[in-house]
Amino acid sequence: MNDIWRRIFVFALTLFTAIHPLLTSAVWALSEAQSKSLVIVEHAGGPVAIRAVGGARAQDEPQPPLLGTGGLPPGGAYQDGNSAISAVQGSLSLESYSSALTQYLAQRGYSTAHIHWYYTFNNQSVGSNQQVYGYFSVKSDGTMSNFGWQVVNANGGPTVMYYKYVSLAAETGLPSGQGWTHDNGGQLTTTVQDTLGNPQGQPVVTTPQPPGVYDPPGTSYSGNAVDPDAGLKQLISQVVVPGIQGNGAAFAIVDYVRQIVPVYDCDNTGVCTARRSVDFQSRTLSLTDPCNPGGAGTYECSGVWGFELQYTTFRYIVDPQGNYSLTSQLQTATPSPAVQFDVSAPVSGVAAASLQYVVVDPHGTGQMYDIRNDTVNNLPCASYIDQGVSCNAAPISQSQQQCVPQQGDGGGGG
């Protein structure tokens, strides 16, 4: 591996371990409890974005210390990228910034801050604007890690490949007689992303042949050692590496689903029952009279319900040469068997914002209730899952025709 790819890979490994689950679409929930941390995206002399992970920021919480420009001129011109990086390193005081940020984190209960800093400059060697990008972390105990600087394009940097493979054999571990199934076994999803996890086009879903070709190997009864990563390695060599190289990507993220199991709840006598699960995948508020926003209308909910299945996924980062490293273990949940529903109820005088946690009974009774206090089906909030996240339902869309007053409304003047 040449030096530039090695630097990009080490940089990307740390970056995605820290923030990728946060910045991508909310489809994964971390299996382990997360401590409260802070993500700061700062464009020197420009916009700043701040997010909390593992807990919400207080409404009156002041803005954390920022790194700033260090006296660098906005849009300064430099001979090349190395000259710009040297200017950045000579202007910024990371030590004093780390000290101020450490105090801020400790006072407000944050364990770590992940800082992503951009400086836009004019690269005279290429005749266009580029950015110096730095990523570093600061812990509340004062520990600071600087993962280096690199020059990226002003549109956000290099391409990243994302793959998700769901093992076909994972279904063999499900108990018989309950109707448990999963529909995407043996499927591979491929997405081109930018470095912050934003899709650059639509995902492509395929079923590699023969079915289950990239599954983990089965149990060996001959006494011979079995490589649990045999299927993963084949996926990387046959699909991932060619995808990285063919798209000119810096690296790839691979989500590899190894295990799927049903979830049971047990009482204090040891009696266990399968946990029921509901996924409200679509919610729409339609008003009868578009000229009367507070008037009558219909609230429609659709999705699936069944018993809860838990997916165990291993996330890897892969470089262009096929070297891979485990970054995290993830868990998601989905209902099975997936019984579809499409239900609705009349409403009056409600706004979409007031229905954030309110749903229509998926069993067709027409009753509406708050999933945080289900008095209809008596399910805990954790049984309501959307996009793999518990105590959640799809966002509400509002179907409302344009208000066109009838002729003659309002009368005429005299």
Mean pLDDT by 10-residue block, N- to C-terminus, for the chain (414 residues)?
49 44 31 60 85 74 90 90 91 92 92 86 85 84 80 66 86 60 81 75 91 78 71 96 81 85 80 84 86 80 87 85 83 77 91 90 94 92 83 84 62 44
Q: How far apart are CA 51 and CA 22, in angstroms?
A: 9
Rounded to whole angstroms, how far apart are CA atoms 215 and 229?
A: 9
Q: Are residues 103 and 191 in the same domain?
A: no
* pTM score of the predicted model: 0.53
**Residue 283 in contact with residue 300, Cβ under 8 Å?**
yes
Domain termination residue (choose one: 95, 118, 153): 153
My answer on whether 116 and 165 are in the same domain is: no
Residue from 108, 281, 260 nearest 175 by CA? 260
Q: What is the DSSP string of 158-170?
A: S-EEEEEEE-GGG
Quick one: 96 and 143 in the same domain?
A: yes
Q: Are residues 198 and 242 in the same domain?
A: yes
Last residue of one domain, picked from the residues 137, 153, 169: 153
In a domain, 29, yes or no: no
Residues 217 and 330 reside in one and the same domain:
yes
Q: Is residue 323 part of a domain?
A: yes
Same domain, 245 and 357: yes
Same domain (yes/no): 248, 265 = yes
CA angle 333, 335, 339 (to 5 degrees): 165
Assigned domain for 71 exists? yes
DSSP-assigned beta bridge partners for residue 255: 164, 315
Q: What is the pLDDT of residue 400?
A: 57
Q: Are residues 167 and 139 in the same domain?
A: no
Confidence (pLDDT) at 367: 95
Q: Which two tokens stand for residue 22?
A: 């946060």
The predicted pLDDT at position 89 comes to 92
Give residue 338's region: left, alpha or beta (phi > 0; psi -120 to 50): beta
Contact at 8 Å (CB) between 223 and 207? no
pLDDT of residue 29: 28
Query: Is 109 among the domain residues?
Result: yes
Q: Where is the domain boundary, 126, 153, 180?
A: 153
Q: Is residue 231 one of the residues assigned to a domain?
A: yes
Q: Quick check: is 324 in a domain?
A: yes
Provide the sign of the torsion angle of the four alpha carbons 169, 203, 163, 32, taken in this order: negative
365, 237: one domain: yes
Query: Which tokens go with 24?
Result: 């991508």
Same domain membership, residue 50 and residue 185:
no
Q: What is the pLDDT of residue 369?
A: 96
How many domains are contained in the chain?
2
What domain range is 81 assigned to? 34-153
> Are 244 and 369 contained in the same domain?
yes
| Numbers of helices and strands, H then E, in the chain | 5, 21
324 shares a domain with 232: yes
